[in-house]
Structures are given as C-alpha cells and as structure tokens.
Structure 1
Amino acid sequence: MKNRGFLKFASAMTVMTLGGVGYAAHRRSRNPYYRGPVSDHFDGVRFFSPGQPQDKGVGEVARWQLGGGRTAWPASVPSPFPQDTPPERVEGLRVVHIGHASFLIQVAGRNILIDPVYARRASPVGFTGPKRVNPPGIAFSALPPIDAVLITHNHYDHLDGPILARLWAEHAPAFVAPLGNDAIIRSYDATIPVETRDWGESVDLGAGVTVHLVPAYHWSARGVNDRRMALWCAFVLTTPHGVLYHVGDTGYGDGAIFRAVRERFGAPRLATLPIGAYEPRWFMQAQHMNPEDAVRAFREVGAEQGLGHHWGTFRLTNEGVAEPAEALARALAEAEVPAERFLALRPGQVWGG
C-alpha cells in the first residue's frame, strides 16, 4: 500500500514536472485549453509529434521511479558567475543564462525573456518537487525593461505562472506561446494578452526581430488529465544580428526538425540546446536529448555557436549535477568540435555583447 501511494504521487509529479508521461489510461474527450481544426499534429483533442513515440504507461513510470540509479545532488550548487546586471538596451546581441532553460536575449534594442522561471521549485506545489540549487543568474529586480516573453511549453520548469503575472504587472511585455498555452497563462492573470501560434507561424516583435514557432519532439501537461492538450515548440528568432535557434526541450528523434530549421532559415548564428534531464535513457530518449544528441543536433542545424542549458539547476532525472557538462565535453571531443563552440552555460554566464 505504501509503495502504491508513492507510485501514484511520483507518477503525478513526473507528469506535472516533465509532462507527457504518466497514466496512458487517462482519456478526455474535451480539451480545456484549445479548440481548433484537426491537423497533422492535432487530433481534435490532443497534440502529437508525427512519427514520434507518445506517452509512457504506469508500468514504465514505476520501473523508473522504483528502479534506483539516481545520483544524489548537493543541496546547493553555486554558479561560478555572479548575478548579471544587464544593460538597459543592447544594439547588438547579448545572451544571459538565468538558469535551467531561462534566458534573457538582448538583440537589436529588444529585451526578450524565454521560459523565465524564478520559482524555488519546478512544481505545482511549494512543499515538494524539484528544488532550485542555485539562485537565478539575474535577480528579478535587475531585469531591464522586458519587451517580449516567449514560452516554449507548459511544464513547470518552463512556465512559471506567478512570475509571468508579475512580469505583466511590472513590464507589460508581449507574450508569445504555442496553441493552448494562453488559457494556462491567463489563469494566473486574466488580463495578460497572449499571442498563440501554431508550428510554422510567426510574430513580429519589432526592430526587425521576428519569432517563428517550429516543431520540437516533446510533450505537455500541467496535471494528470491534460497530457498533450497544449502545444509545445522551439523558437527561431530572425534578427538584424543573425538567426537564433532556441530549443526548450526535445528529443533528437530522426534529426529532421534540426535539418528543417537550417533549410528554412539558414545556419543559425546561435543555437541554445538542452543537454540535461536525460537518464534513464530508455525512459527519457523520446523527449530529452542527452549531450551526445545535442552535439548531433548542433551539427545538423549548422550553428556557428552552441549554448547548452536545461542542466544544473533543478534535479529532474537520474544523472548527477555535473554529468551533462562532462558528457558534453566528451561528445565534442569525439565529434572533433572545438570545446569553445558549444558551452555548457551556468546561471549568470553571458555570451556575446
């Protein structure tokens, strides 16, 4: 009975934190977030990645949660970089890692946040769930005026509802997110205007900067009954200072999504790619790249520079806190890619400027 209760709680936390994994038996005939026409990645109720694996079942969740093999993390993993104080505006390109998958991109005089998470836990509740082991790389009070906030998907380590409401109250930025996420964001403040788009669609952010929504091999969920009911995406920013490609979460799959970005937009100047939350591989492979996959993606998309994120802040899966950076170094060496071309970022670390 004790194990059954643990499994139920762990399965729910897995769904709410990572999304898209959990009880395959759950079915709903109505989507509470989005209603729209059937497409090649929407069946009328749920979104999906064509040709890619979808949900895990309760047995697979149990195998992971009860199977051991987790490397312990320290309670605190300070970044070697101090908290950044960004300039108010940058006419060129400056990128700061806030932590996990959160970035401030300053380009062409525009200030853009991607997946800003300032919560102490990547969790729907304050008393349990993955806890932050280092402070944000930019204090909220030190943020410059924010013009736009981009949300890749609705997992708690990417969509921090209270901070989005605070950003709206203090900065009044534009919000851009994939289909269905507007309902989730507005549940934290009904006055927030959210521009939602499908894969292949775009939003003009001004100053020659346009954000394009492109596919990722991933999932979505805020709870146990809404798996894949809001869309997920990666972003391509076309700017006067080059093409920027940001992936919040994805599996590598067959690599087609990375080749498609290069074919449509050309080789990016910068690609920010996830390198963490990948073990055990049998469970995570469809939704999270490991460092070896990330190097393959980097080469497929043809980026001039890579920045690795989604590691070292929230313990989501089995690998140790330093393992993604160590594995990235090995993968780059094996691929004969100079180490400085793909950096494993820490909170507060600045690239460009």
Structure 2
Amino acid sequence: MPKIRYNNMNDASTDHSVQEFRQWRKERKGKKKDLSFRVPNVPPDIEYLHANRRDATITWIGHSTFLIQYEGLNLVTDPVWAKRMGLDPRLGEPGIAIGDMPPVDVVLISHSHYDHLHLASIRKLYREETTVIVPAGLRAKMVGKGFSNSIELNWWEEAVIGGAKITFVPAQHWTRRTPFDTNTSHWGGYVLEPAGHAQFRDGEEPVKGEEPALYFAGDSGYFPGFKEIGSRFDIDVAMIPIGAYEPEWFMATQHVNPEQALQAFLDVRADKMIPMHYGTFRLADDTPREALDRMEAERVRLGIKAERIQVLKHGETLRVNKSSFT
C-alpha cells in the first residue's frame, strides 16, 4: 500500500536540489558572522512552576520548546533538551533543566524534524498520565517508540484534554527523518483555548474564555494560512519563529524571516508575540543578534507597540492571565 504524502496549502513546494544544497554550502564558506551573542538565561522559578495550577504561563526553554501552564495542565511544545543538533553544539543551556520540570500532562509535537521531535527528551518527560499529540501520520511511530498514549490530528482537528481545547492548525513546511519518509507525516501548529471557547469567523463576535487563547506556530514559511488562522480564532499570544531564514533564497518557503514573522503576528491578530526558533541551534546562516535586530527594526517601521513583542530569556516565565489583555 503506497504511503500517504502530505502537502502544503496551494501545493507550495519546499523541495531543493542537490545543486542548491551545494550552492548554500559554498556561500556559507564566504560569510563572516559574529557568533558571540548568546540568548541570556535567567534562573527559572521552579517552586512556583511546580505549585502553579491557576495561572496561565509560558516559559521559554529554548528553540521551539516552551513549558505552557494552561487550564491546570502542564504542556510542553516540541521538547528538545539535546546538547547538540547534528555536529553543532547547543548554543546555551535549556531554560529549565529537564530534571527540574514539573510533571508533564501533554506533549505537543509540530512535526518530525529532529530539532522539534527529540525522542530522548520525550522519554524523560513521559509518564503514564502524559498525552502526546502529534500530526497525522506520526502516531504509529510514537506508539512503536513506547508512547502508547498518543493521538494524531489533521489540520483543524481538535482534542479536549482536561479544561483545554487543542486544535492542530496549518503551517507551510515539510518533514523527513530518514531518506524514505519525506512528508509521510504532517506539520503544523497548535491553538490552545479553554474547552467550550467557541471559534468565530469574520463578522461574528468572539466568545471570551476564562484563559487567553495561545497560538504555537511550529515551523513555517510565510503563507496565507496565517490569515485563515486569525479569522478562525481569537488569539491573545502567538509564539512565532524568527530564525533559520538565511540564505533566504533557500529557506523562504519553510522558515519565515523576522519581517515575515511580524506580518504573521499581524495576520493571526494576536495581542502579543513571543519570538522563538532562534539562539539555540545554528540551523542556518543567520545569527540570533541579526534576527532580533531585524525584528526590532521592522516593529518600529510598522508602528507596533514595543510591549506587544515579548522577547523572553531562556528560563523566563510570562504570566498571561486574561486580565493581562483587558
């Protein structure tokens, strides 16, 4: 039976030829980059995070890994505590040591790339009560690796766990872990709402829940799906990638640049944005300092208020109770 192959909206292609890979490597050798900047770490409030079951919080671990506390649940996005990615070492220590994490109720996986799906990290977090949510096409792999309480979702499908409704939403990307499984599982992001918080479309009034709605974008190039997500949900906080975009002629279809990240933020109509996917692994030729500087310059150009962009340090916790947005 042939394997299912997943596609992007409008069949946008992320394929690259061997010649293009060689051209990128050739260009990289001629670039001189200042790699001295590191994302700062702050000591996490471990005692508070273990005790908290009331406040909605977002704590940046690094890269695309967040501890999200929501509706009494501890959720972790794309958990990666790896010390290196391929031959490149991690650029900074995780914001919370994996042994200091509070018990994890839900693991959210955006796609199967190694910098987002790190099995050893999940294994250390997983317990009998943990639910792993993955894109369509990945459940069998996760169950085979011992994560029996795994469910998979297609775009726009949802799961309700405790008091949280979790919807899998589109992204523009691709997947591969071996030479033989390209795009055999899907990719996307997640929207978290209180269970019972109604979706809405343009022209309708949103129904406000007790907790803010959160959007975790996963990995994505810029695409029309951001506007569709913004039309379907009343998002308060958006976690959006800003790194791994250079060279742009190579990366544009799969990774937004900082300017596109801010446009995606406006498209999804969120109140606040947390940048991610920078400063942990050197996956492309851009640097964390360049990504932050370009984002800040574009924020000023667009007239976005500074307080709407929440640049977290590793280990820093942002409390995002609904009162923060009223």
Question: Scaled by the length of structure 2, what TM-score is found?
Answer: 0.87
* Contact 1:89 1:110 (8 Å CA) reproduced: no
Paired AA for residue 109 in structure 1? G
Match for residue 345 of structure 1? Answer: 312
Structure 1 residues 197 and 82: CA distance shift in structure 2, 3 A: same
Structure 1 residues 324 and 76: CA distance shift in structure 2, 3 A: closer
Q: Which one is further off, 281-290 or 81-90?
A: 81-90
Structure 2 residue 47 is matched with structure 1 residue 91: no
Question: Scaled by the length of structure 1, what TM-score is found?
Answer: 0.81
Q: Which one of the candidate residues 148, 152, 176 is aligned to 1:221?
A: 176
Measured in 1, the distance between the counterparts of 2:41 and 2:131 equals 32
Structure 1 residue 87: Cα displacement = 3.3
Match for residue 280 of structure 1? Answer: 247
Q: Which one is further off, 45-54 or 143-152?
A: 45-54
1:6-53 Cα distance to aligned partner (Å, 9 max, x none): xxxxxxxxxxxxxxxxxxxxxxx843xxxxxxxxxxxxx311103212
Provide the secondary structure at the position in 1 that maps to 2:91: coil
Provide the secondary structure at the position in 2 that maps to 1:325: helix
Q: Which one of the candidate residues 257, 271, 274 is aligned to 2:238?
A: 271
Measured in 2, the distance between the counterparts of 1:269 and 1:246 equals 11
Q: Which one of the candidate residues 127, 140, 143 is aligned to 1:186?
A: 143
* Contact 1:306 1:342 (8 Å CA) reproduced: yes
Q: Over the residues paired in the alignment, what is the CA RMSD in angstroms?
A: 1.9
1:233-283 Cα distance to aligned partner (Å, 9 max, x none): 110111231211111110112xx21111121112x1100000000000000
Paired AA for residue 57 in structure 1? S
Structure 1 residues 154 and 320: CA distance shift in structure 2, 3 A: same
Q: Which one of the candidate residues 283, 298, 301 is aligned to 2:265?
A: 298
Mapping of residues 125-274 of structure 1, within 5 Å:
128=87, 130-169=88-127, 172-187=129-144, 189-207=145-163, 209-239=164-194, 240-253=210-223, 256-266=224-234, 268-274=235-241
Match for residue 34 of structure 1? Answer: none
Structure 1 residue 223: Cα displacement = 2.0
Paired AA for residue 120 in structure 1? K
Match for residue 5 of structure 2? Answer: 46
Measured in 1, the distance between the counterparts of 2:80 and 2:36 equals 19
Unaligned runs of 5+ in 2: 195-209, 321-326
1:42-100 Cα distance to aligned partner (Å, 9 max, x none): xxx31110321231111111111122254546488362422441233231211000000
Unaligned runs of 5+ in 1: 1-28, 32-44
* Contact 2:37 2:288 (8 Å CA) reproduced: no
Paired AA for residue 103 in structure 2? P
Provide the secondary structure at the position in 2 that maps to 1:322: helix
Structure 1 residue 137: Cα displacement = 0.4
Paired AA for residue 222 in structure 2? Y
Paired AA for residue 230 in structure 2? R
Measured in 2, the distance between the counterparts of 1:65 and 1:303 equals 37
Paired AA for residue 58 in structure 1? V
Q: Which one of the candidate residues 77, 81, 93 is aligned to 2:42?
A: 81
Paired AA for residue 90 in structure 1? R
Identity %: 33
Measured in 1, the distance between the counterparts of 2:313 and 2:51 equals 22
Measured in 1, the distance between the counterparts of 2:108 and 2:276 equals 16
Paired AA for residue 258 in structure 1? F
Structure 1 residue 108: Cα displacement = 1.8
Aligned length: 301
Provide the secondary structure at the position in 1 that maps to 2:124: helix
